[in-house]
Structure 1
Amino acid sequence: MDTYFTEYENLEVHELMLKDRPRQEAYCNAILKNKDLFKDKVVLDVGAGTGILSAFCAKAGARLVYAVEASNLATKVALDLFDENNLTGIVKVIHSKIEEFALPANAEKVDIIVSEWMGFYLLHEGMLDSVLFARDHFLKPDGLIFPSECTIYVAPCSVPALFDYWQNIDGVSMERFASKLRLQKSTRPEITYLKPADLLHEGIVFHWMSLLDVDAKELDEISFKEVVSTQVAGKHQGFCIWFDVRFPCEEEPVTLSTSPLAPKTHWKQCVVVLPKENCEVLEENSPVAFQILMKRSASGARKYNLEVELLDPNVEEHPVPCSCHMTKCILTKAHLISMDTS
C-alpha cells in the first residue's frame, strides 16, 4: 500500500489532529449546528481516518454515511468508534481508496461530501485530488461539500526564530551557526508558528477556490504576483503562507483559519525564508514586490515546490489605490480621495 496511507496508521498522528481544538470545533459546529442540512441525507466521508467526522454526520441526522478510508484504520479504529457510539446501523466503513470505491448497485449519488483533506499551506499531501474525484463521481448535482471554499494568504514577515534568536545565546553570538542552519533549511519551507507581531502585513489573498467547481488540473500550478505595502515597520525576512476554509452553513458561517492571528492549529504556518542578503529593515508603508509559484513536484503528486522571487517595486505595477510611500502612489491615492469628496 502507498506509504502515504501507512503513515496515517500511526495513532499519534490522529491524536495530534483530534486535540487540535480549532479543527475539531470547526467541523463539529459546521455539522452539528446545521442538522437541517444533514437530516435523512446520504453522506460520503473521504479519508475518514478514525471516523469522527462520520460520527458527527450520523449524530446530525444523516440516514447513511459511507466512511471511506484507505489505511488499516478503517478496520482497526473506525469500526470500534462506530460500535462504541452505537452508529453501526448508520455508518458503513469501506476499507478502500476513494478512487477504487463504488456505490452499491442502484444506489443514488450522495447528498454531501465531508473531508478533512488540508495539508500544510493547504495543498501539501495532494488529498484534495481525491475529494474532487469523489465530487465528480459520487456527488449529486446540487450536493454540498464540507468545507466548500478555501483561501490561501501570503504576507511578508519577520522570522525571529531563525534570525534574531541567534544574536545572543547567553552572551555568545551564534550568527554564523544561524547562517548554516538557514542554509540547511533552505531546501524546504519552514513549518512553524509565527506571532501576530511577526507579520508585516495582515495578508493578501494568494489563491481562492470553490470545491464545487475547481478542476484538479488547476492545482498543478498556482502563481501570484503583487506589490504590498507593509502595515508596520520591521525586518523583512520571509513570506508567511496560511489558509482558511469555509463551510456551507445556513445559519452562522463557520471558518477554520490557520492564520497567525487565529488560535493555533496543528497546521501552523508555512514560511519561505529569504537569504540574509535579501533581508531588509522596512519602514511602515514600504512596498514589497514579489512573485510566488506553487507547483506540483515532478517527484510526487502529493508534494509541491514553493518558489518566491523578490521583484523591483520601482518597476512592477502597484495596485490602485496603493498605500506605499512611493510618490506616484501617494499622488494617485490623493487624487482618488479628492474625486470621492468632490
Structure 2
Amino acid sequence: MSHGKLREEKLCLNCENPVEERFCPHCGQENVEPRQPFYYLFTHFIEDFTHYDGQFWKTIQYLLFRPGKLTKEYLAGKRQLYVAPVKLYIFISFITFLLPSLLSSSKNESEDSQKVTSAEKIKQKKDAEKELAKITDSIKSEVLKNEVLSKNKNVQPLIENNLIKINEIKNSAPDESLIDETEDGKIKILGAENKHEFDSIRRTSGENKFLYAYSEPFAKKIFSLQEKGLNKKEIFARYKSTFVHTLPKALFLYLPVFAFFLWIFHNKKKWWFFDHGIFTLHYFSFLLLGILLLIFISRLLDRLPDYGLFTLLAVLIHTAIIIYMSLYFFIAHYRVYESRKRMTILKGSLLFMINFVGILLMFLALMYISFLMMH
C-alpha cells in the first residue's frame, strides 16, 4: 500500500464510481491525489514489490530456497500471493544489471594485466634489439680481427655461427599476435595499425586469407574508433558497456527458446506451452539472482586483504553457488512435472546440455553483435 495523500472527493478519477474507502470497488484504483512529489515515482515502484501484502519477500523466499514451489503455486491458480512471473523477471533483470554498475569496485584487474603484458612485450623487444646490436658489433670486430691476423682464413663459419645466434634472439622476441598494442596505446591487428595497412597486408597474405577475412569486421570497427581518438582502454570500456546493456535483451529473447525445448520433451496434452513459459520465467529469474549474488560477493571480497584464507573462501562460496544453480534445475523440474526420478534425470540432463549449447551460442553471437554495435 502506498503512502499517497487521499483525495477528499469520493469519486474515482478512473471510472467515476463512488469510493467509500481507499480503493475503488469497481476498478481497484487507489483514490489518492494525482499530483505527488517526484520521489513518489520511485517509492511507489519499490512499494509495489516490497510492501503490498508481502508479495515480493514471499516470492523471493520460494524462488531461492524452494525450487519449483513458486511455479506449482502459480499453475495451481494461487497467483494473488506472489509477484507475477513477467513482472518478477523484469524487476530482477533490472536490479541484476544496474546494481553492479553502482557498486564501487577495486582497480580493474584486466586493464592492469593488459598494461603489464604490453609493457613486458615492449621491454622484451627492446632487450632483444640491444642483444642484436651487441652481437652485430661482435661479428664486425671478430671479422676485422681475423682479417688482420690472416687474410687467407675463411671467416664464413664465424659469421654463420653468429647469424645463428641472431636468429635465436629474433625468435625469442614476441611475435605479432591477432591483437597487439603499440607504445602509444593504440591497437594493432595482425601487425596493422590502420585500415590501409590492414588491407595492404591482407592482399599480400597467401596462406592466411581466412584469418584476415574473419578479422576484417573487427579491424574496421577498431580502426574507425581509433580515428575518433579512442585508445585501447576506452574501446574495451565501450565494448563492456555495450555488452552489459545488450545482455538482458538477449536473455529475454532466449526465454521462448528454453520453453520450446521443455515443450518438446513433455506431454503436449498435459502441459501447455504457457506452463513451460512460467517455469522458464521463474528459473531464469533465479539464475539472475544467482548471478547478482556472485557479482556482489566478488565485489565484497575485492575490498578484503589479499590473503590465502579469503581466496579459499571466495572459491568455496562461488563453487557452492554454481553447484546449487546447476542442481536447482533438476529439483525444480522434478517437483513441477512430477515425473519419475530416473526420467527427470534423463530429461533434465538432455535439456541442460541442449540449453547450455544454445546459451553459449547466444553469448558468442551477442559478443559479435555488441562489438559491431559500438559507436
Quick check: which one's strand share is greater?
Answer: 1
Structure having greater relative contact order (Cα 8 Å, sep ≥ 6): 2
Fold similarity call, TM over 0.5:
no
- With normalisation by structure 2, the TM-score equals 0.21
- With normalisation by structure 1, the TM-score equals 0.22
Quick check: which one's helix share is greater?
Answer: 2
